[in-house]
Structure 1
Amino acid sequence: MRRPGSLAHSLEARTVAVMLLAVLAVHGGALLLYRQSAAAAADEAFARQVANQLSLARDAVMRRPPPERAAEAQALSSPHFEIGWSAARPPGPGPASDSALTAFRDRMAAIEPNLGPGLMLAMEGGEDPLHQRDLGGAFRLPDGSFLTFRSAHGPSLGSVGPWAYLSTAMAILVGVAAVILMHWIAKPLRDLARRTGEIGYGPPIPVPEAGPDETRGIARALNAMQGRIHAGVSERIQALAAVSHDLRTPIARLRLRLDAVAENTERTAMAADLDDMQAMVDSTLAYLRGDADPEPRQVTNVASVLMGIADASADAGRDVAYHGPGRALANVRPVAFRCALENLVDNGVRYGTRVRITLLVEEAALVVRVDDGGPGIAPEDVARAFEPFTRLEGSRNRNTGGTGLGLTIARRSVEADGGTLRLGNRPGGGLRAEIRLPRPAPG
């Protein structure tokens, strides 16, 4: 499964890959064109030059008697093109075996047919780096003697020359510049994606309007959208909070009137109903205050909070126990985090009678597990359990049904601290609520 946000699937990586492939394709085409045009033209000019020099030397040497031919050949030599004469076959090169050198010899023979089919060529490289690709050879004269030659340089024969190395270096520089440029262009998009991922967990987060016009337009639209959504949600939250708060007054009046009623079954039922109404109002107000909670985050000993909850629950006669280290730090809002854990423990006790709180310390996170001994929930109901005012148990009894906001408040609180809350059935039975909190950086 593809991991969201991975580099291999990012717009920056794909664009860089396309640009580098384009640079490689252009560079490869340029090298091929060089080999087929520039190098071929240079070899053609060199073949014509050598063939003409050998033809002139052949005519000049043949006009001299044999005793004077060696001196004549030496007189025709230059520092860059040595010519020699031998009455017998020299111990030099034989027929060219390299296909490129054979093609070069045929080209020389086509330019000067009087060189004869017996023209022998070889690349006479020595230890001197300046003469690694000298061209040498010999051909038979009509009287049976041989004319030898050696050029101070040879044909390229399709080899890679300095121009190819220079073009390769330029291609590498262009590729590096393309990567740096694309990284710079994609930075506003990365910042936009990061800031967008933080939207929805509190007050509006202004997205910087930076980068190209398209990125600025997206950021501007996101900021405007946040403003509209936040304004609409705030109005509804204020209205609902006002209604919930106002309900406390009639509930208080009903409690006063209930005190005048004699003790009986109806009075007990009415008191339970008022308790339910009070719990619903308190839970609703706590839920609505979630986004506007001013409590700051601070490094907190999570283990101490968990032990305090377990001890308080045990003192109240509930079967709650803690297992884990005595110290484990995380950057959370202490009061909100404690309320979230108390909600999870209350749910576990309500539905499973027995709760075990376990704290595990991993390299980058703290893992808090709240396990109960209840029947668990159906897998298809896991996501629905976090919806506000949703109760998977259909009873209206406060001791079993609750208000449907405990898990919602707990998850919102944990996510506001940068953590996650997941539900799942344990293999041995019961429900497990698992919280993962990032550990603070050392120092």
Structure 2
Amino acid sequence: MRSLLAMARSLEGRTVVVLLLAVLLVHGGALALYRRSAASAADDAFATEVARQLALAREAVLRRPPGERAVEAAALSSNHFEIGWESRPPARSGEATDPALWDLRDRLLAREAVLGPGLVLNLGRPDEPLHRQDLHGTFGLPDGSALTFRSAHAPNSIAVAPWASLATAMAILVGVAAVVLMHRIARPLRALAAATGQIGHGTVVRVPEIGPDETRGIGRALNAMQDRIHRLVGERTQALAAVSHDLRTPIARLRLRLDRAEDPVERRAMAADLDEMQAMVDATLAYMHGDVDPEARRVVNLASVLSGIADACADTGREVAYRGPGRVLATLRPVAFRRALENLVDNGVRYGGRARVELHVEEAALVVQVDDDGPGIAPEDVSRAFEPFTRLEDSRNRGTGGTGLGLAIAKRAVEADGGFLTLSNRPEGGLRAEIRLPRTAARG
């Protein structure tokens, strides 16, 4: 069912539907026009033949005396066209012409006006199954008598001509050809969509340059664009990493000179500034290295990672607790994921005084929640919180504001493992950072 819905939403599916509908409409219209023209031609031929025979019968009967007219009419009859004469109009002659035969009556009168306005046409009676579609008629003669007739050939009985069957077969072939053609055209588009979906995740993805000239051109343009973007990103990363690395040397020299400061208060303030600079440099290097992190994914006990972080924080005097199962296996990058969790826990302790880490195992995902009792985040600032170097509070003190890279690093690490990181304000107060990892990437 999902595949059918996906097919209906795709360019290939919609184009195939439009083409097939066009083929059906054109073919149906052609058959309708054929049947209409064939029916009209058949009606013309039928009316001409009936009018000719009735005119000949009228002249032949009128040339005979009344006593011989019935015999003459019978002599003019055949197996498929019967003619009769009556000295006075039959009792049903007052009936009106069947509305379905008005067009045929007009055709007969147009060919033989001598049949007169008294011409009445009707189809066979329902009580005559074998002659239900036979044409019955009556028209008057100048002396007050009447001629009756019955034709075994009903009008509008049009059979489908062989060319109509051939046209149907051709329409089916055109429909099949349209489906095959659209499938071949859409195949490079599907490959292009699959390749472009992988762009932007760290490595250069070569887009296949296949299909028509248009899709080949798009593939070449995307490959060239990737090369330019990765070259610019590489140069930027290399420059920032070099600057951050080089800052470590003057920071180290400043620490050595700090010991010469005589004022203890001033020495502590300068040491705090140097610590902040060192933290900013380390965070910047960690963020920049995230683009080219060589760490491989492997199976780890996620519960052990979380409880280990909580225990390490508790050992340093911070109030961090873990609650959840003791063993849950997941496939991820352990060092990067641990760094992401530590950043979330540090934020919780910094703003809320304590943090609580919980692990839940759902049917389709592993859910890690880090809750704190802090002031939370304004709803309009939630998305902005993940932007690099963004601090949502006004203080520039690292003790409250941090470097502005913790959430960005955590989000990148989680997404690299196929998960999602979201922030939400808890109803009882405080902020909740929630990580959802797909169970497809987990075992245990």
* CA 355–442 in structure 1, closer or farther in 2 if over 3 Å, else same: closer
Secondary structure of the corresponding residue to residue 284 of structure 1: helix
Q: Structure 1 residue 172: deviation in Å?
A: 6.6
> d(CA) in 2 for partners of 1:74 and 1:205?
93
* CA 36–259 in structure 1, closer or farther in 2 if over 3 Å, else same: same
Q: Structure 1 residue 180: deviation in Å?
A: 5.0
Greater shift, 142-151 or 321-330, is seen at 321-330
Is 1:198 aligned with 2:194?
Answer: no
Corresponding residue number in structure 1 for 2:339: 339
Amino acid of the residue matched to residue 357 of structure 2? Answer: I
Corresponding residue number in structure 2 for 1:109: 109
Listed as ranges, the gaps of 5+ residues in structure 2 are: none
Amino acid of the residue matched to residue 97 of structure 1? Answer: D
Amino acid of the residue matched to residue 274 of structure 1? Answer: L
> d(CA) in 1 for partners of 2:272 and 2:94?
115
Corresponding residue number in structure 1 for 2:404: 404
> d(CA) in 2 for partners of 1:312 and 1:364?
30
* CA 248–33 in structure 1, closer or farther in 2 if over 3 Å, else same: same
CA-to-aligned-CA distance 1:58-80 (integer Å, 9 cap, x gap): 4445556677666655654555x
Contact 1:283 1:405 in 2 (8 A): yes
Greater shift, 391-400 or 279-288, is seen at 391-400
Q: Per residue, is there more helix in 1 or in 2?
A: 2
Secondary structure of the corresponding residue to residue 404 of structure 1: coil
CA-to-aligned-CA distance 1:85-136 (integer Å, 9 cap, x gap): 26473879953333x421211211221223333333334498999x798441
Greater shift, 426-435 or 207-216, is seen at 426-435
Listed as ranges, the gaps of 5+ residues in structure 1 are: none
* 1:201-350 paired onto structure 2 within 5 Å: 201-255=201-255, 264-298=264-298, 302-324=302-324, 331-350=331-350
* 1:377-388 paired onto structure 2 within 5 Å: 377-388=377-388
Secondary structure of the corresponding residue to residue 291 of structure 1: helix
TM-score (norm 2): 0.80
Contact 1:119 1:140 in 2 (8 A): yes
Amino acid of the residue matched to residue 136 of structure 1? Answer: L
> d(CA) in 1 for partners of 2:154 and 2:128?
12
Question: What's the Cα RMSD here?
Answer: 4.0
* CA 323–70 in structure 1, closer or farther in 2 if over 3 Å, else same: farther
* 1:164-179 paired onto structure 2 within 5 Å: 174=174, 177-179=177-179
> d(CA) in 2 for partners of 1:423 and 1:259?
43
Q: Structure 1 residue 407: deviation in Å?
A: 0.8
Amino acid of the residue matched to residue 272 of structure 1? Answer: A
TM-score (norm 1): 0.80
* CA 314–177 in structure 1, closer or farther in 2 if over 3 Å, else same: farther
Amino acid of the residue matched to residue 195 of structure 2? Answer: R
Amino acid of the residue matched to residue 415 of structure 1? Answer: E
* CA 263–371 in structure 1, closer or farther in 2 if over 3 Å, else same: same
Corresponding residue number in structure 1 for 2:351: 351
Greater shift, 173-182 or 48-57, is seen at 173-182
Corresponding residue number in structure 1 for 2:145: 144
Amino acid of the residue matched to residue 113 of structure 2? Answer: P
Amino acid of the residue matched to residue 384 of structure 2? Answer: R
Q: Structure 1 residue 224: deviation in Å?
A: 0.6
> d(CA) in 2 for partners of 1:96 and 1:324?
91
Contact 2:331 2:441 in 1 (8 A): no
Contact 1:305 1:338 in 2 (8 A): yes
* 1:353-392 paired onto structure 2 within 5 Å: 353-392=353-392
Corresponding residue number in structure 1 for 2:40: 40
